[in-house]
Amino acid sequence: CGIFGIWGHEDAAQLSYYGLHALQHRGQEGAGIVTKDDKGLHVVKGEGLVNDVFTGDAFNSLTGNCAIGQVRYTTAEGRGAENVQPLVFRSTTGSMAIAHNGNLVNAKDLKESLERQGSIFQTTSDTEVLAHLIKRSSSGSLTQRDRVKKALSMLKGAFAFVVLTEEGLMVAQDPNGLRPLSLGKLGDSWVVSSETCAFDLIGAEPIRSVAPGELIIINDKGLVSDRFAEAANPAMCSMEYVYFSRPDSDIDGINIHMARKRCGKQLAREVKIEADVVTGVPDSSISAAIGFSEESGIPYELGLIKNRYVGRTFIQPTQSMRERGVKMKLSPVHQVVAGKRVVMVDDSIVRGTTSKRIVKMLKDAGATEVHVVIGAPPLVSPCFYGVDISTDSELIATGRTVDEVRDLIGADSLTFLSAEGMLKAIGRPDEMKNCGQCLACFTGEYPTDIYADTVLPHEK
Ligand code: 5GP
Ligand code: SF4
Ligand code: MG
């Protein structure tokens, strides 16, 4: 998912719309904006793309100078209109709206215990747990900030939150900092966004990343930084660099396009291939393909083009839709590949659908050899943190050798980037464990506890 927040701007709703538009690649199943003024919270949300949800009059009702928003990509919580965020909770003791990016690994435990205490959940979303925890702890003399801190400290897993309350905009990042979240400034207003590309679009200046374990409270008095937990080992999601984020975004000061390009260069150092052209799979692997070409000296060519009116194939819910999606989405440029030995660079292999189809497509278009190089290590373990790499059985590389995967996708050779090579190429500080990255889907070593009852996206 992608989340966005803004405090203290007369065009809060409009700017959130632009922000969500820039984050659209992070989720296409639903979108929502909640604004706040002295009359309370106002919400517009629905299933579909940002452009479809916020039509004509939407903005007339979204009054107020602060807002939060989300674009939705379903993993664990299930689809359906009631799960579109921000979730709004109206109460006589203070209303609240919440948007979340990530996945809680102890949501089931917390939900069961809250239900035993009388909570009734309106959605199947793990996000709702936070609202109940905040309300639960509302007894006694705790300030709202303390209640939120207490609630956040009970959550385990990956979470970047924006919470809009009567008292301000609250922004939180999980203790491992698994999902990106940046703070920026637009004139006198504060903005937060999953990715910095949203800041560029609205003309805001990026200030810094929200720190692991940090709770930021923004209101008319200004910004206060607090923390609800000690920072754990930093573990930024590697797949954000590899695939998820937009090339023009920066995470912790590292530009995504440049990081991918260095991954491509690193690949060209790790494998030598005799070939005539290098081509990338648009859009997410173009950067790595350019890097591979530069380092190997094999010319980069536009061997595949993308129909821009088809969404991200991976995010299509079923496998048959995904397969048709690949065909509608990509076409070979015959003049580039016919009679050529082609290096095809992709960012990652998940189920193998894309690679298999493209190898065949390139061969049908006359390529004499197709060498597949991948800008990440093999994905072998499920993600519990909000990326739809769900079960081992769906991952083509789980329990298979590289040669077996190569044969399944029909390539002449297959090379994955080494994990060390990827870390080095991305270039985060190397004094931290795994350079402060999560590598769990590549290694099976998870940065948080994984609860026995953690529900995999797939199982719901
Ligand atoms: P596959 O076709 O192997 O199942 O998926 C790999 C392709 O899907 C790559 O081209 C990659 O760009 C894209 N992709 C889309 N969504 C995701 C995702 O959530 N994770 C990963 N690793 N790749 C994804
Ligand atoms: Fe990202 Fe993989 Fe870690 Fe999930 S397991 S957070 S996809 S690096
Ligand atoms: Mg792709």
How is 225-270 classified by DSSP, letter by letter?
A: EEESS---S--EEHHIIIIIS-TT-EETTEEHHHHHHHHHHHHHHH
Cα distance between residue 380 and residue 392, in whole Å: 7
Q: Quick one: 167 exposed, middle or buried, by C-beta within 10 A (0-12, 13-18, 19+)?
A: middle
Which of 33, 10, 9 lies closest to 21 in space, CA to CA?
Answer: 33
pLDDT at 452 over 60: no
Which residue bears the tokens 């009116």?
A: 309
- Residue 427, domain member (yes or no): yes
Query: Which of 87-101, 191-205, 291-305, 414-428 shows the lowest mean pLDDT across its residues?
Result: 87-101
Query: Which of 41-55, 92-106, 113-127 shows the lowest mean pLDDT across its residues?
Result: 113-127
User: What is the predicted ipTM?
Assistant: 0.93
The pLDDT, as a whole number, for residue 72 is: 93
Q: Are strands 254-255 and 250-251 parallel, antiparallel or unpaired?
A: antiparallel
Of 197, 232, 267, which marks where a domain is finished? 232
Question: With a 6 A CB cut-off, is 311 part of the ligand 1 pocket?
Answer: no
Query: Which of 39-53, 285-299, 320-334, 366-380 shows the lowest mean pLDDT across its residues?
Result: 320-334
The pLDDT, as a whole number, for residue 312 is: 54
- Residue 439, domain member (yes or no): no
The pLDDT, as a whole number, for residue 460 is: 36
Question: Could you tell me if 148 and 203 lie in one domain?
Answer: yes
Question: Could you tell me if 360 and 397 lie in one domain?
Answer: yes
Pocket mutation for ligand 1, best pick of 314, 316, 328, 400 (most atoms within 8 Å of C-beta): 314
What digits encode the pLDDT tens for the residues 215-265? 999 999 999 999 999 888 999 999 999 999 999 999 999 999 999 999 999
> Known catalytic residue: 1?
yes
Cβ neighbours of 299 (radius 10 Å): 11
CATH for 343 = 3.40.50.2020
Q: Which ligand is nearest to the CA of 74?
A: 1
Question: Could you tell me if 392 and 283 lie in one domain?
Answer: yes
Strand partners, 35: 42, 67
- Residue 446, domain member (yes or no): no
Angle at 185 between CA 38 and CA 201, to 5 degrees: 100
- Identify the residue whose C-alpha is closest to ligand 2 atom 6: 237
CA of 285 to the centre of ligand 3 (A): 6
Query: Which of 272-286, 336-350, 388-402 shows the lowest mean pLDDT across its residues?
Result: 388-402
Question: Could you tell me if 321 and 207 lie in one domain?
Answer: no
CA of 313 to the centre of ligand 3 (A): 8
Which range of residues forms the domain containing residue 295? 257-431
User: Please, what's the b/e burial string for 338-371 (b: 16 or more CB within 10 A of its CB; e: otherwise)?
Assistant: eebbbbbbbbbbbbbbbbbbbbebbbebebebbb
Cα distance between residue 422 and residue 439, in whole Å: 10
Q: Is 153 helix (H, G, I), strand (E, B) or coil?
A: helix
CA of 269 to the centre of ligand 3 (A): 22
- Identify the residue whose C-alpha is closest to ligand 1 atom 16: 314
Assign 49 a pLDDT band (cuts: 50, 70, 90).
very high
Higher pLDDT, 361 or 59: 361
- Ligand 2 atom at shortest distance from the alpha carbon of 179: 6
Q: Are strands 214-219 and 222-227 parallel, antiparallel or unpaired?
A: antiparallel
Question: Could you tell me if 20 and 125 lie in one domain?
Answer: yes
**How confident is the prediction for the chain on average, in pLDDT?**
91
Question: Could you tell me if 66 and 139 lie in one domain?
Answer: yes
Question: Could you tell me if 134 and 88 lie in one domain?
Answer: yes
Which whole-number Å values give the CA distances from 54 to 16, 24, 58, 189, 424, in the listed order? 11, 13, 5, 23, 42
Question: Could you tell me if 211 and 328 lie in one domain?
Answer: no
DSSP string of 82-131? Answer: GG-SSEEE--TT--EEEEEEEEETTHHHHHHHHHHTT---SSS-TTHHHH
Question: Could you tell me if 53 and 145 lie in one domain?
Answer: yes
DSSP 350: S
Mean pLDDT over residues 409-421, rounded?
A: 98
- Residue 444, domain member (yes or no): no
Assign 459 a pLDDT band (cuts: 50, 70, 90).
very low
Q: Is residue 96 within 8 Å of 55, Cβ to Cβ?
A: no
Cα torsion through 293, 298, 299, 303, rounded to 10:
-80
The pLDDT, as a whole number, for residue 138 is: 60
Mean pLDDT over residues 42-47, rounded?
A: 95
CATH for 138 = 3.60.20.10
Question: Could you tell me if 82 and 225 lie in one domain?
Answer: yes
Q: Is residue 164 within 8 Å of 97, Cβ to Cβ?
A: yes
Cα distance between residue 110 and residue 334, in whole Å: 55
Mean pLDDT over residues 334-342, rounded?
A: 97
- Identify the residue whose C-alpha is closest to ligand 2 atom 4: 383
Cα distance between residue 404 and residue 335, in whole Å: 31
- Identify the residue whose C-alpha is closest to ligand 1 atom 15: 314
Cβ neighbours of 136 (radius 10 Å): 17
Q: Is residue 50 within 8 Å of 101, Cβ to Cβ?
A: no
CA of 348 to the centre of ligand 1 (A): 6
Strand partners, 341: 369
Q: Are strands 236-237 and 2-7 parallel, antiparallel or unpaired?
A: unpaired
The pLDDT, as a whole number, for residue 59 is: 85
CA of 156 to the centre of ligand 2 (A): 15
Q: Is residue 328 within 8 Å of 306, Cβ to Cβ?
A: no
Question: Could you tell me if 139 and 209 lie in one domain?
Answer: yes
Pocket mutation for ligand 2, best pick of 103, 422, 438 (most atoms within 8 Å of C-beta): 438
Mean pLDDT over residues 107-133, rounded?
A: 89
Structural domain count of the chain:
2
Name the helix (H) or strand (E) containing 319: helix 319-329
Which of 71, 13, 41 lies closest to 165 in space, CA to CA?
Answer: 41
- Residue 19, domain member (yes or no): yes
Mean pLDDT over residues 44-65, rounded?
A: 92
- Residue 249, domain member (yes or no): no
Instruction: Record the tokens describing residue 55, joined without a space.
Output: 């039509």
Mean pLDDT over residues 46-58, rounded?
A: 90
Question: With a 6 A CB cut-off, is 389 part of the ligand 2 pocket?
Answer: yes
Percent of the chain scoring above 70 in pLDDT: 92
Question: With a 6 A CB cut-off, is 237 part of the ligand 2 pocket?
Answer: yes
Which of 364, 454, 357, 378 lies closest to 422 in space, CA to CA?
Answer: 378
- Residue 442, domain member (yes or no): no
Angle at 86 between CA 437 and CA 319, to 5 degrees: 65
- Residue 240, domain member (yes or no): no
CA-based Rg of the chain, rounded to a whole angstrom? 22
How far is the first Cα of the chain from the last one, in angstroms, to the nearest whole number? Answer: 18
Which of 127, 170, 126 lies closest to 148 in space, CA to CA?
Answer: 170
The pLDDT, as a whole number, for residue 75 is: 62
The pLDDT, as a whole number, for residue 458 is: 43
Which residue bears the tokens 């400290």?
A: 153
Question: Could you tell me if 102 and 213 lie in one domain?
Answer: yes
